[in-house]
Structure 1
Amino acid sequence: MSPPHSQLSEAYIQDSFHSYLKSSLTQAKAERLLDADILSSAQSDLMITGPALCLYFAALRCTTNPPSVPLPRHKKNSQPMELSYENCPPAFVSFLRVWSNTVPAIQALAPELQHDLARMICNLEPLVTPLQPALNGIAADLRAVAIEISQRRSFQDRYASDLQAALDSGTTPASPGSKRAAFVPPPVYDASPVSSAASSPHSSPRSSLDGHSAQGSPQYANHNLPPQSPSFLSPGSAASVSSGFPPRSPSPQILAPNSPAIEFIRETLYASLADALDRQPSLRALLKSDPPRAYFASVAFAVLDVATSAMTPDGAVIGVLGAHLTLAQCPPELRPFMAELAAIGRAAHELAEADDEVAMRAAQRGEEIPLTRMDRVRTMLEEGVGCGADRRAREEGRRSVEGRAVSFTNRINALSLGMTRLKAFRERQGDVFKVLAGIGA
């Protein structure tokens, strides 16, 4: 056994995680939380459900305080080992921190509520009524960590075999109707020379940017969209690289009024990246130290920007040409994206109004104005769910038991992931990488 404080390798933790992931998916199948049709599908939310279930079952197995993860023995004669803060690789510390904060709450639940939590992770309705509000916050935290795990290339490359192991459990290869996992890893993030020099394979949990969608988005990332025309914005010119991105109202030659709806939405979002970088100056520094995270965070901020400033009350998008794209004008496969974008905008305004009320009450009492939920959302979008977990734990009395900030962050990230894995977005992604690399250089 390794000395208690020697750091474990990332490869060792990855092997252990996937060992547990296979058993977690198999157990979920046995308990009918997931069926063979779901396990064999390419549903984007399955990328989140699997890791979240693994974290849930690990919390049930935990027997230490502070919480640590018992690791599987790779050899029969190996000494037992646990993952703790003392031996955790730096890349996984934020995951461990968030998970450990959920362990006491999960273990304190009655068995029927623990089962309901597992059902919620799997997008099933809870059985106990009325719904226990605390379950929402726990599920949000587990799924938030799962979102980040799902973006790791090492996870994506092995997930199909994890799913297949669960599908094969209780069957034989010759069984009638045996199913095969349909999941295929997304394309590898290929940074430009500028950004790749600043990045390493382990610089971020987000080593692939085309990770699959997450909480609240199982439907809208699974459609086969029609071929899109190759009309792109052109960020490769000297002017566009120096300034970052085209302004919100580019010339009609850049995006024709009759461009397909997917291009209209795509260019509206990508044009908002400039606003994201202006409003979050720290993203520019992140472009140098961690380009993959900076890109994904920028897209998430662009989603939030468009949802809050470019949506009309009836759910239309005011695009880069000042034209409106209505829900009725969208092809059916894009309408869930549009509807979710509008819903995010409404939820953001509700959170902002609630933050204003809290601030006014604090000011009237002469108290310090607390950190707003929207501030927490922005921090988590940029730094990941593990940021400030210790502070959130200390401020538990001020934190919503429903985990609204975490849930809302998950929702934005889910839409960002769902959109960026579409063909039309991936086609433009290379150009956007070049622009971001020029800004961060």
Structure 2
Amino acid sequence: MAPTRTDSQLSESYIQDAFHSYLKSSLTQAKAERLLDADVLSSAEGDLMITGPALCLYFAALRCTTNPPSVPLPRHNKSAQPMELSYENCPSAFVSFLRVWSNTVPAIQALSPEYQHDLARMICNLEPLITPLQPSLNGIAADLRAVAIEISQRRSFQDRYASDLQAALDSGTTPSSPSPKRAAFVPPPSYDASPASSAQSSPRSSVDGHLQASPQFANHDLPPQSPTFLSPATSSGFPPRTPSPTILGFNSPAIEFIRETLYASLADALDWQPSLRDLLKTDPPRAYFASVAFAVLDVATNSMTPDGAVIGVLGTPLTLEKCPPELRPFMAELAAIGHAARELAEEDDAIAMKHAARGEEIPPTRMDRVRLMLEQGVGYAMGRRSQEGRRSVEGRAVSFTNRVNALSLGMTKLKAFRERQDDVFKVLAGIGA
């Protein structure tokens, strides 16, 4: 397929084809270098949706030979002219991805081969081999994984990722002796906007009204307001969650308890972040993932007890001991995110006090940037940050945002979430219509 242009821009489909071509070779190379094994490639577990695209961006950075950085695109035939993806021809949908990636290229190429290998290991969630750790690797890995998270939210990526994984699994095999492993990756439900809700209904009443009217919901009294164990002013910045109707009974399985606790926060997220309603009109899939991420941040910071239990929508706790073993990593990560949010907020407060004591303007906080990245993406936030001139070498705000997004993706891939998330998204899309 030859590239098509509109006002000198390459088409999105052409860039998507090029990306998946490189993604297959990147996954194959990672398998050959033992960064990823066949079991990981065939599984649908962990954050494989993030690891694959991040590796592709890493290998593309190593191949880059231009300044400013551009991506050499694969040629579909030998007679085709070499072509680079640059700001001049990049489709507008991918400019933010290119901006973040191009900022990492000089740093990646300046690393020694040993540190470059450690960076690849960190992208694959493997321990680096060299100690002490090169501090800049954290920030580079965080930026690559942040772009990968945004790529993994695109439907065009989700629909093709299983074949990319299978291509890597089949590498090194022959037609007569194919790979015994099959890629188990299954895309999440597609997200299509539902008909507009009543114009007279408020966002809050639209959600609650849908939940109350739906026959699948039991008639429970509104639960008491969940206690707040971390002060909203010093954690996520969210107010305490208001009560919401729920389908849960008091003996519901733990996964349903966690799921409904998170989904009960979605309507609140639209109240706290009114711009999400506009995003529902312009980019429904991003709005859905952003809403879930804000719900995760809210529950992690406002509904976790000091010992790691979740106070759910019925006002009762789910302790780690009562949680099935396969769900405990999710619970532990929720608690860890809450703890990290509190640390970031405390550091933000200390920085603000120092600036105030010197009579200086107080800069945007890390948590401000986290909320910006959860909603608009790392590329948009990086453009703002370059104007503000503030960024730590470790990329802590980006790393924290990645943790929230990664947990959101991991949770929504679970079967219990997939069963309900399509309906929940249609409710949210109806609000924004």
Name the TM-score class by shorter chain: 0.7 to 0.9
Q: Please show how residues 308-323 of structure 1 align to structure 2 within 5 Å.
A: 308-323=301-316
Which residue number in structure 2 is paired with residue 279 of structure 1?
A: 272
Given that residues 5 and 86 in structure 1 are in contact (C-alpha distance below 8 angstroms), is that contact kept between their aligned partners in structure 2?
no
- Equivalent AA in structure 2 for residue 405 of structure 1: A
Q: Tell me by how many angstroms 1:93 deviates.
A: 0.8
CA distance 1:250–1:166, change in 2 (3 Å): closer
CA distance 1:60–1:40, change in 2 (3 Å): same
Given that residues 248 and 321 in structure 1 are in contact (C-alpha distance below 8 angstroms), is that contact kept between their aligned partners in structure 2?
no
Q: Tell me by how many angstroms 1:394 deviates.
A: 4.8
2:407 pairs with one of 412, 415, 418: 415
Q: Please show how residues 74-85 of structure 1 align to structure 2 within 5 Å.
A: 74-85=76-87
Given that residues 281 and 432 in structure 2 are in contact (C-alpha distance below 8 angstroms), is that contact kept between their aligned partners in structure 1?
yes
Q: Tell me by how many angstroms 1:19 deviates.
A: 1.1
CA distance 1:82–1:314, change in 2 (3 Å): same
Between the aligned partners of 1:417 and 1:76, the Cα distance in structure 2 is: 40
Matched, 1:237 2:213: yes
Identity of aligned residues (%): 82
Between the aligned partners of 1:292 and 1:39, the Cα distance in structure 2 is: 25
Q: Tell me by how many angstroms 1:274 deviates.
A: 2.6
2:417 pairs with one of 414, 419, 425: 425
Which range is displaced more, 427-436 or 406-415?
427-436
1:150-197 Cα shifts (integer Å, max 9, x gaps): 1222212222222222222222133386433232333322432349xx
Which residue number in structure 1 is paired with residue 112 of structure 2?
A: 110
CA distance 1:343–1:400, change in 2 (3 Å): same
CA distance 1:428–1:136, change in 2 (3 Å): same
Q: Secondary structure at the match of 2:84?
A: strand
Given that residues 69 and 82 in structure 1 are in contact (C-alpha distance below 8 angstroms), is that contact kept between their aligned partners in structure 2?
yes
Between the aligned partners of 2:56 and 2:281, the Cα distance in structure 1 is: 33
1:268 pairs with one of 258, 261, 265: 261
Which residue number in structure 2 is paired with residue 327 of structure 1?
A: 320
2:372 pairs with one of 375, 379, 385: 379
Given that residues 196 and 431 in structure 2 are in contact (C-alpha distance below 8 angstroms), is that contact kept between their aligned partners in structure 1?
no
- Equivalent AA in structure 2 for residue 424 of structure 1: A
Gaps of 5+ in 2: 198-207, 224-240
Q: Tell me by how many angstroms 1:258 deviates.
A: 1.5
Given that residues 248 and 268 in structure 1 are in contact (C-alpha distance below 8 angstroms), is that contact kept between their aligned partners in structure 2?
no
Which residue number in structure 1 is paired with residue 97 of structure 2?
A: 95
Which residue number in structure 2 is paired with residue 208 of structure 1?
A: none
Given that residues 122 and 141 in structure 2 are in contact (C-alpha distance below 8 angstroms), is that contact kept between their aligned partners in structure 1?
yes
Which residue number in structure 2 is paired with residue 348 of structure 1?
A: 341
Q: Please show how residues 29-428 of structure 1 align to structure 2 within 5 Å.
A: 29-175=31-177, 178-194=180-196, 235=211, 237=213, 248-250=242-244, 254-395=247-388, 398-428=390-420
- Equivalent AA in structure 2 for residue 70 of structure 1: P
Gaps of 5+ in 1: 196-231
* C-alpha RMSD of the superposition: 2.5
CA distance 1:353–1:85, change in 2 (3 Å): same
Between the aligned partners of 1:11 and 1:105, the Cα distance in structure 2 is: 29
CA distance 1:377–1:250, change in 2 (3 Å): closer
> What is the TM-score when the length of structure 2 is the normalising length?
0.86
Q: Tell me by how many angstroms 1:105 deviates.
A: 0.7
Which range is displaced more, 170-179 or 300-309?
170-179
1:193-237 Cα shifts (integer Å, max 9, x gaps): 349xxxxxxxxxxxxxxxxxxxxxxxxxxxxxxxxxxxx996163
